[in-house]
Amino acid sequence: MSVQYKPVLWDRSKMVYDAVLIAAVGAYLLLYLKLAPSLADWSRDVDYNIQRMRAFGTCAFLMLSFILTIGPLARLNPAFLPLLYNRRHFGVLTCVVAAAHAVFVLDWYFAFSDTERYTALLAANTSYGQVLGVPFEAFGIAALGILIILAVTSHDFWMSFLTPPVWKAIHMSVYAAYALVVAHVAFGYLQSERSPVIAAIVIGAAGIVTLLHVAAARGEARIDLSNAAEAAEEEWVDVGPVCSFMEGRGRVVVLPDGERAAVFRHDGKLSALSNVCAHQNGPLGEGRIIDGCVTCPWHGHQFRPEDGCAPAPFTDKVPTYRLKQVGDRVYLNAEALAPGTYVEPIQLEEAS
């Protein structure tokens, strides 16, 4: 791999993460296929093939819903940060499950059509001018297309090739995919299903995703306003009491100019660097210290906390900041130093 990329190592935590994901998906599919017949509308004939495609479809929807809750959950409570570290694996698996749903739909509903199955899928219903009976297949096709693009471009090569801003803009389309999936279910399955179970699941999942994002946004806004007000006319920003810094973890502080710094505690010392990862603008403050380096939660890129430099052979750098302790409080100088500038970590002195 080129020195421009940080290799993704398959350590124990990643293998456990992936194993739990795969096991959870398998358990859900088996449980659905066992329980769904008892909840189905018995006035209609629903065979195994239909149950199978619904199992994969509902699984993909719930997985995508859960993915979109990880970000706000991690901001509301650091205990959820481990879910954030390998979220990319979660997204790729969701794409695989969604694609399996699409394959089963094509193999069952369009396998015996006189028209070629892909043509039949697009031409079977063209009533785009009405609400009831609208071609819900188009929503699903568009959503799957977005998920495939996100899965294919999840590799580090595409982040470098497309540039971080473009890559981030593309991957923000996951929200459009989610809206399309909700529309696909609402105008499709829910139009004909009489059981309220799936409707409750869809409405509940979409509601939870929305509420968590609103709660996280409100919390971030309160922190931004509070920190900005306190630091508006001060060169040194109060980042909190000594006892509030957890070993191996970071704390994000908002600076007067709106930028953010990340303060990390490592071996009883504090260092501060930019919150923006040089790789893909990930939030370094939500990462953790691994092997003595601040590790970005998005893609694992690392930077030494004392100078903001990536370990050799990598050459990325981020700005650093000066810190000081006054009594039991820690303060950060709001003026960023040049990327790669060494700053002696401050040795914390616990208040007696």
| Prediction pTM value | 0.65
> With bands split at pLDDT 50, 70 and 90, how would you rate the model's confidence at 210?
very high
Structure-token pair, residue 201: 């699941």
Check residue 254 and give its pLDDT: 86
Domain-wise residue ranges, the chain: 12-220, 236-347
Structure-token pair, residue 258: 């709106």
Specify the fold of 236-347.
Rieske Iron-sulfur Protein (2.102.10)
The answer to whether residues 264 and 294 touch, using CB atoms and an 8 Å cutoff, is yes
> With bands split at pLDDT 50, 70 and 90, how would you rate the model's confidence at 79?
confident
Q: Is 181 helix (H, G, I), strand (E, B) or coil?
A: helix
Structure-token pair, residue 163: 């540039």
Calculate mean pLDDT across residues 69-91.
84
> With bands split at pLDDT 50, 70 and 90, how would you rate the model's confidence at 266?
very high
Query: Which residue type sits at 238?
Result: D
More confident residue, 174 or 196: 174
Calculate mean pLDDT across residues 45-52.
76
Q: Is 346 helix (H, G, I), strand (E, B) or coil?
A: strand
Count of Cβ atoms closer than 10 Å to residue 343 Cβ: 18
Report strand pairing: 302-303 vs 320-321. Answer: unpaired
Query: Which residue type sits at 152?
Result: V
Handedness of CA 24, 29, 34, 36 (dihedral sign): positive
Calculate mean pLDDT across residues 150-173.
82
Least confident of 32-36, 52-56, 171-175, 259-263: 32-36
Check residue 1 and give its pLDDT: 27
Phi and psi angles of residue 277, each rounded to the nearest 5 degrees, phi first: -65, 135
